[in-house]
Structure 1
Amino acid sequence: MTLTRLRTALRSLFSCASLIVLITISGCTYVSQGVLVDSDRHAKVAEHDSFGDSAERVVYPEQNWSGADSLWFYNVTQGSNLLPYELFLHLETADSELLFRSDENMNRLRYLPQKESFANPDGLPVGWVKDEHKGQEFIGFTCAACHTSQINYQGVAIRIDGGATLADMEQMLKSLAMALQASLEQPEKFDRLAQRVLKTKYPDDKEAFRVQLAEAAQQIASYNQINDPRHGDQSVAYGYGRLDAFGRIYNRVLAHLTPKEPNFNPACAPVSYPYLWDTPQHDFVQWNGVGDNELAGPLGRNTGEALGVFAQFDLDKKKGDIGYRSSVAVRNLTRMERHLESLWSPSWEELAKQNVLPPINQALAEQGQQVFIEYQCHTCHEAIDRTDPNRRIISQFASLQTIGTDPYMAMNALKYSGKMGYFEGGRINPFKPDPRFQPSGAVLPALSGAVEGVLVEPDHDKLFIRRWAEKLYDLIASISDNPIKKTERHLDFEVVNKNNPATLVAYKARPLNGIWATAPYLHNGSVPSLYELFMPSCSDAEIASGKTCRPNRFTVGARELDAVNVGVVLRDPAQYPGLFVFDTSLPSNSNKGHEYAAGVTPVFVLDANGRPVKDAQGKPKMRTLQPISNHQRLALVEYLKTL
């Protein structure tokens, strides 16, 4: 949503007097996390688990957040309504009497178990939270469910706020569907669940509960069906630490546009969850840079995310409404973005001083820094001071044709289309008569329309005056507090028209501070370690011949850090069958591209001002660098530990 459009909408809704009233009655106080916060921030760690991991204690790196800051991040709602709360609380897994929410099951799915606490009295995992909407209680997700990570090293669990989760949401939702169906079909399971949920009302409301359970089972089964990551006849599992967020958000919007007929695309381009530190300081976010952080951009981006993770919304506009009713907690989304401004990336050096991680070889790291500069890494990956409150990050984008990495995510986000349903005939831009939504069209403009409509419609659970006052305050605050006021898109080292959709056929580079804590690598998680990232991609035959290459198959799911290669520890799936085997030969899983240090991907020839040098035909000049040696590779990895 542009500033002009938002201002116009706001002027049509409110007067200056209502703004004064709003500022007077509205507060921004965070929900208390209790008087006492444990030093471990109520984390639970498994001494041993089925993936071979173990930890005896938990530590938090210095990220400029207190314990209360972390717990607020874990427990603040965004309006996510997955299932009725009591139903989820007492639901058993499909094949046992173990509760679905149990630490054992959640740890297997790689969500992070927590102890009971003031803000989390039922001991839900990080990022799972009770939400209320229209007088009902639901289980839902906070931002922390996807953006909090844990790395283990030699018996110590390192919890990282804003890190990329290792959770497998696809497996979780499929397991949830099976659990609901099993409770519906198996009399013993149904009776246990009904008795726990209904308590004193059991068995009088038993049949009414059966209807509710059947509706919940159908809801999750239908969601899983339309989001099957299928390429033709082949379904490609996401595995741990990945999700096709765009595909699933798109499908949620399409399903709400035509609730009585099928309307979806394959959610077949899973990517690694992005890490959140420095996000508010970026000009553009998302792997393809579709999220413009200018002005109201962050609020729009976070609202789209909330719609994707089960916020309730209705795109059939009601008489007298200016937008679309929803459960989205806009105020909390604004608070969340501001909360993240103070977050720092984790520091390897700081953890080494605590004897949690091994010390960095500074002499080798200095050699790695020279390699970093010689191979032009710094031209895309800007160096920043992670603690500077005034840091600003100008993203550098690489077009698909130059970087050569897997194209599915960028291409799907741009090209996916569907039936426009309720939007058909409406204005794509509400302040211009044309163009209008056709019967079918691209999903990206429809998502923008849905988000804008949700943002301008107030919370109908509140009194009339308060709902409009708070809505105005939230929208104004989201713009005035945003440090990013204006953006330009930099693609292949040139400024391009950011409103041209073709510029989204690209992937974004970002500063590498904290990169050591974010394996596996590339946008789709197809390379297990930094050391292997600096190798070429190869065929199976080349690997069999002894060539030094990126692996084509590796396991994901273990939390133990490989401190030498800086990545995930690879374990034998025969010994640990629960681990996910990542196969780079499958669609959307390619490990090709970004092979600059391997002497495969050419780099731009740049002038003294960092602009591309062009030939007589106006095409940028490119050059291929020599492959780095094994010593240089180790030095480069050591340098990246220092960031």
Structure 2
Amino acid sequence: MKKAIRELGVGSLLLVSVVLPTSAQQAPAADSVIYLNQAWSQDDRDWYYHFSQGSVVLSYDIFLNLEVAGGQELFRSDANSERYGLITQPPGSPFNPDGLPIGISKTTVAAPVGDWPAGDYAGPTCALCHATQLNYKGKRIRIDGASANMLDLQAYIQALNAAMRATLTDAAKFDRLAARLGAASPEAKARLRERFERQALATYEYATRSAATFWPWGPARIDALSMISNRVTANLPGIPENTSTPIAPVKPPFLWNAPQGLWTQWAAIIQDPLARNLGETMGVYMPINLRAKIPADGLFESNAAIPELRRVESQLGRLAPPSWPEDVFGKIDREKAKSGKALFMDNCASCHNAWPYRWTEPNKYGKRFVLVGLTPQSYVGTDHTQAEAIRPFAVTGQLGDHLPPELRGKDAVPLEAFKKSIQRAVLERAVAKLKLTPAELLEVNGYRELPQPPAPDRVYKAAPRDGVWATPPFLHNGSVPNLYEMLVPASERSKKFCVGREFDPIKVGLDTTCGPGTFVLDTGLLGNSNAGHSFQEGPRGNGVIGPLLTDEQRWALVEYLKSIPEEPGRVTPFGGPPEGQLPQK
């Protein structure tokens, strides 16, 4: 173990170089944040920000007292959290007594799972990537369920790894940590070191395998699908041959209307919310035992928090898209927005849908779902890397004898089938422990008909645009800085731009002014293309999705996108509106 730690320590020094220097500030007081009407109470928000989804990274007491790699500042401090784009919170909420940033929660592991003993841990929750704050002229506007446009998750993971490595290799650092935790005797220090070393190795593996890339993703972008695949098929079962390089970063999608939509994820790959939400936790540190020989020994056991995932899905089902705050960002030109609405209906609504939305026919449970456009990548022409990032085949290793009959006993199988088989086994074991009634099981699966239909191949999902103004940068991979540039010919878009932290209410997006703390996004790099979804002269297809617009038309469309939803706090009814309120087809 000590040899491994010494070897890993060298890698940690290399990782520090990607950490971006940024200005930082203390957590703003709760009453200084502007909350928009999204139909949630403050209690809803406080719970969402810090509920436990079952993920664990580091013992809670260690996380509260760990220092950064290059100094004695605490890693969990507001200043350091701000450095990586986390949204800091003051203490006071019953769900967050220690004043942790949004998306970091305290998780209790009640019984040992694999290498994780029972105890209290710090871990991420979905709000880390699905809540944002728009900064404008000193004001902070909170958007719940939006894309975390300042979060640099890759750099944060790497900085945590560097902090852990530095603490294990620097005797003075370790002694300070031990003193904070009351580990004074040699025996207590030895127990702390053993616990810390074991957890540090897991983070090192995550930082240097699951999130390892040739160039950094930067803020607002994560290759979540590759990271989930790597953890489930490579890291946890100990089969490094199955690792895929995460070269297809995307911005986290916004979550309002997600429970109501027919398909979710950028590539429209899943319908069942339980499989979607539990799959996400599998990618971010949920303890899972994939090394036991047989299920009787704990194989497929996990720390799944299904009741909490059930609640968050229900709560997201009543989350309203945010309305443009005219008192902060300026008045909407209603006449211009009206012209933009007509243009949207002519050029965009066939894919993106518009309120009151087009719905599916009722399924066997009587539920309708919002139709989302499924546009072939070859037509829309946007970056294609997501469909190619994950390796095609997987080595099954010791799990080969525990796969479904069609895969059982094979040394190598399609990776996607391997991953889904593991996820299904983990899910079924977790659900079985709860002894849910048929009605409860139906609810937790979002009233979807199972098995779900095959996912469409190589498409991008075009969901309704209500509230999209609050979710820069744009396109699935965050390669377009503002809404205005979404409406020009793709060749005229910025090829390099700085990703800053200030909102631009004119072009509606991120301020691209370069300066300290900004990140330069180069759209010429693999996975970063901002081609496609182009409005230009020529036949439709191959990246052209609409006609060349005049500048007046572009600004009218921007104004319309600022204006929706037209009713603040409007929640899309789950399961569909009453029959008499359905839109005409």
TM-score above 0.5: yes
* Structure 1 contact 287–523 (Cα < 8 Å) conserved: yes
Alignment of 1:390-429 (within 5 A): 392-412=369-389, 416-428=392-404
Q: Which residue of 2 aligns with 1:552?
A: 495
Q: 1:201-350 to 2 correspondence within 5 Å?
A: 201-230=184-213, 235-256=214-235, 258-259=237-238, 261-292=240-271, 297-315=272-290, 316=292, 318-320=294-296, 324-348=300-324
Q: Distance in 1 between matches of 2:25 and 2:559?
A: 26
Cα distance, 1:54 vs. partner? 12
DSSP 3-state at the match of 1:424:
helix
Letter in structure 1 aligned against 2:354: A
Residue 93 (str. 1) matches residue 68 (str. 2): yes
How far is 1:145 from its partner? 1.1
1:561 aligns with 2:503: yes
> What's the offset of the Cα at 1:113?
0.5
The one-letter code matched in structure 2 to 1:397 is L
**CA displacement at 1:488 relative to structure 2:** 12
Query: In 2, Cα distance between the equivalents of 1:582 and 1:175?
Result: 20
Classify 1:384/1:374 alpha carbon distance in 2 versus 1 (closer, same or farther; 3 Å).
closer
Residue correspondence of structure 1 range 4-153 to structure 2 within 5 A: 50=23, 57-117=32-92, 118-133=94-109, 134=111, 135-153=118-136
Give the distance between the partners of 1:190 and 1:454, measured in 2 at CA: 36
Flag the 1:446–1:437 CA change in 2: closer, same or farther, 3 A: farther
Q: Residues 177-188 of structure 1 correspond to what in structure 2 (within 5 A)?
A: 177-188=161-172
Residue by residue over 1:120-177, the C-alpha shift from the partner in whole angstroms, topping out at 9 and shown as x without a partner, is: 1111001101111123111101111111100022322111110111211100011011
Aligned-pair identity (%) = 34
Q: What is the CA deviation profile of residues 91-139 of structure 1, one whole-angstrom value per residue up to 9, with x for unaligned ones? A: 0111111100000010111111111122211110011011111231111
SS in 2 for 1:504: coil
SS where residue 207 of structure 2 aligns?
A: helix
Q: Distance in 1 between matches of 2:166 and 2:193?
A: 12
Residues 485 and 200 (structure 1 numbering): CA distance in 2 closer, same or farther, change over 3 Å? closer
The one of 378, 381, 384 aligned to 2:355: 384
Q: What is the alpha-carbon distance in structure 2 between the residues aligned to residue 525 and residue 385 of structure 1?
A: 27
Secondary structure of the 2:197 match is helix
| Aligned CA distance change for structure 1 residues 79 and 281 (closer, same or farther; 3 Å) | same
Distance 2:435 2:450 in 1: 26
Q: What SS does structure 1 have at the residue aligned with 2:143?
A: strand
SS in 1 for 2:99: coil
CA distance in 2, matches of 1:568, 1:407: 24
The residue type paired with residue 480 of structure 1 is E
Aligned residue in 2 for 1:579:
518
> 1:269-294 deviations in whole A, cap 9, x for unaligned?
100011110111011100001112xx
CA separation in 2, counterparts of 1:202 and 1:598? 72
CA separation of 1:310 and 1:402: change in aligned 2, threshold 3 A? same
Alignment-derived partner of residue 368 in structure 1: 340
CA-to-aligned-CA distance 1:459-484 (integer Å, 9 cap, x gap)? 9xxxxxxx84x2434x7524236555
Contact 1:55 1:155 survives alignment (8 Å): no
Mapped contact 1:55–1:156 kept (Cα < 8 A): no
439-448 or 172-181, which deviates more: 439-448
**Structure having the higher Rg:** 1
1:472 equivalent in structure 2? 436
The one-letter code matched in structure 2 to 1:550 is R
Residue pair 1:403, 1:601 contacting (<8 A) in 2 also: no
Flag the 1:69–1:177 CA change in 2: closer, same or farther, 3 A.
same
**Map of 2:115 onto structure 1:** none
CA contact (8 A) 1:226 1:264 kept: yes
Q: Residue 210 and residue 427 in structure 1: after superposition, are their counterparts in 2 closer, same or farther (change >3 A)?
A: closer
Q: Displaced runs of 4+ in structure 1, greater than 6 A?
A: 51-56
Contact 1:228 1:268 in 2 (8 A): no
The alpha carbon displacement at 1:319 in A equals 4.6
Q: CA deviation at 1:60?
A: 0.5
Counterparts in 2 of 1:138 and 1:261: CA distance versus 1, 3 Å: same
**What are the Cα deviations for residues 78-101 of structure 1, in whole angstroms up to 9, with x where unaligned?**
110111111111001111111000
Alpha-carbon shift at residue 642 of structure 1 (Å): 1.0
C-alpha change, 1:426 and 1:534, in structure 2 (3 Å) is same
Distance verdict in 2 for CA 1:403–1:76, change over 3 Å: same
Equivalents in 2 of 1:260, 1:624: separation in Å? Answer: 43
Distance in 1, Cα, partners of 2:296 & 2:537: 62
Aligned residues: 523
In structure 1, the partner of 2:331 is: 359
Runs of 5+ in structure 2 lacking a partner? 1-21, 112-117, 360-366, 565-585
> In the TM superposition, what whole-angstrom CA distance separates every residue of 1:193-241 from its partner, at most 9, and x where no partner exists?
11112x16544411222222222332212222212444xxxx1211001
Matched, 1:511 2:464: yes
Match of 1:521 in 2: 474
Residue deviations 1:329-364, cap 9 Å, x none?
Answer: 11111111111111001011xx22xx1221100111
Unaligned runs of 5+ in 1: 1-48, 460-466, 490-497, 539-548, 605-621
CA distance in 1, matches of 2:26, 2:504: 12
Structure 1 residues 478, 634: closer, same or farther in 2, change over 3 A?
farther
Whether the aligned pair in 2 keeps the contact of 1:410 and 1:507 (CA below 8 Å) is no
With over 3 angstroms needed to count, the CA separation of the structure-2 counterparts of 1:236 and 1:344, relative to structure 1, is: same
Task: Give the alignment's Cα RMSD to 1 decimal.
Answer: 2.8
For the residues of structure 2 that align with 1:255 and 1:488, how far apart are their CA atoms?
26
Using the size of structure 1 for normalisation, the TM-score is 0.76
| TM-superposed deviation, 1:391 | 7.8
Paired with 1:54 and 1:130, the residues of 2 have a C-alpha distance of 19
Aligned residue for 1:356, secondary structure, equals helix
| Stretch moving more, 582-591 or 317-326 | 317-326
Encode CA deviations 1:539-584: one digit per residue, 9 max, x unaligned: xxxxxxxxxx1100111141x2111100001122xx31x3211000
- State the alpha-carbon separation in 2 of the partners of residues 257 and 510 from structure 1: 34
Is 2:573 aligned against 1:594?
no
Question: What SS does the corresponding residue of 1:284 show, helix, strand or coil?
Answer: coil
Whether the 8 Å contact between 1:317 and 1:324 is mirrored in structure 2 is: no
2:427 aligned with 1:455, yes or no?
A: yes
Q: Distance in 1 between matches of 2:208 and 2:411?
A: 24
Cα deviation digits, residues 579-635 of structure 1 (max 9, x gap): 21100000000000010x23367169xxxxxxxxxxxxxxxxx99754111111111
1:154 paired residue among 137, 159, 167: 137
Which deviates further from its counterpart, 434-443 or 236-245? 434-443
Change (3 A) 1:569 1:264: same
Contact 1:140 1:310 in 2 (8 A): yes
